[in-house]
Amino acid sequence: MNSCRSEENSSLFVFQNISYARRENDIAWGFNIDDHISDANDEEGCYHKDLIDPLGNEGIDNAMSALIPTLDLTEAFAVEGIIEDSINNGELILMLQLLGLDNSEQDDCMELRILKGEGNPMVGTNGQLLDGQSFSINTETPPSVVENVAIEEGTFLANPLEMDIPVRVLDKNLVFSMKKGSLRGTFQDDGTLTGSLGGALSLFDLIEIVSFEEVADTDILISLLKQATDLSPNEEGTCEELSVAFEFTAIPAYIYQP
């Protein structure tokens, strides 16, 4: 049996693309964050019906997907474009390190780390990062770590995952803190890693963003966010967190060793 933390058997990927996990009818990528299957009459889910993922898993929490068509129209929440620009200009280099990886098809034990990287990425003619690049590790940002992750038929699920996603919105440096998170990854034949990641975002953090003076229709956006929250009901029965999920593509990369 391999060591989950073996530095000798490790692989590194850098996130090339991160986008919202959108819904089609009641189907969307995401995770059962609250370990509960909610329907429209369920107080625990603040009366939001859970979704089903493309694999057929029930209880999927991804309330943000219902708001995406509306939020796409606002500059503050055009997150996909913001993240893409941040990746390509080097502001958002997130690296996925898999330690103790012996076999990408079947493995009993590995350790997953999400690292904040630094560097000046090379971008191809398609507007996306080129693979095989080297990046330094930002030692001031602690890694997000999940131990004892198993791979079955080329796919793994890592949780619980706590991670911060720093982005720049409306000339302001912000950090999306995702709690109770999970990451599902699948190794592809072309050497890339694709999958989804998701978790819970604080309603108060989201309200802070839409309250910027540059954002139009603030009151409407705050109302929509409050209506969409589906996690962590308080004593009054009001949910204080919003579930969200993203899809991603990650490409092979290396750690720069000076």
Q: Which long-range contacts (CB under 8 A, 24 or more apart) does 134-138 make?
A: 134/253, 134/254, 134/255, 134/256, 135/14, 135/93, 135/95, 135/253, 135/254, 135/255, 135/256, 136/255, 136/256, 136/258, 137/95, 137/255
Distance CA 236, CA 252 (A): 47
Which residues 6+ apart lie within 8 Å of 203 measured at CB?
225, 226, 229, 239, 240, 241, 242
pLDDT value at 186 more than 70: yes
Tokens 């929250």 belong to 229
Q: How confident is the model at residue 1 (pLDDT cuts 50, 70, 90)?
A: very low
Task: Give the pLDDT score at 76.
Answer: 55
- Which of residues 6 and 37 earns the better pLDDT score? 37
What pLDDT digit, counting tens, does each position of 14-51 carry? 999 998 899 998 999 999 999 999 998 888 888 899 99
- What are the start-end ranges of the H helices in the chain? 64-71, 79-88, 203-210, 218-228
- Which of residues 83 and 157 earns the better pLDDT score? 157
Average pLDDT of every residue of the chain: 87
Per-residue tokens: 41: 């009459």
Please give the model's pTM, rounded to 2 decimal places.
0.88
- Which of residues 212 and 58 earns the better pLDDT score? 58
| Residue among 96, 100, 126 nearest 186 (CA) | 96
pLDDT value at 53 more than 60: yes
- Longest Cα pair distance anywhere in the chain, in angstroms? 58
Judge whether 245 and 65 are in contact, CB under 8 Å: yes
Judge whether 200 and 178 are in contact, CB under 8 Å: yes
| Residue among 43, 41, 48, 87 nearest 67 (CA) | 48
Q: How confident is the model at residue 2 (pLDDT cuts 50, 70, 90)?
A: very low
Distance between start and end Cα atoms, the chain:
32
Strands 10-20 and 93-99: antiparallel
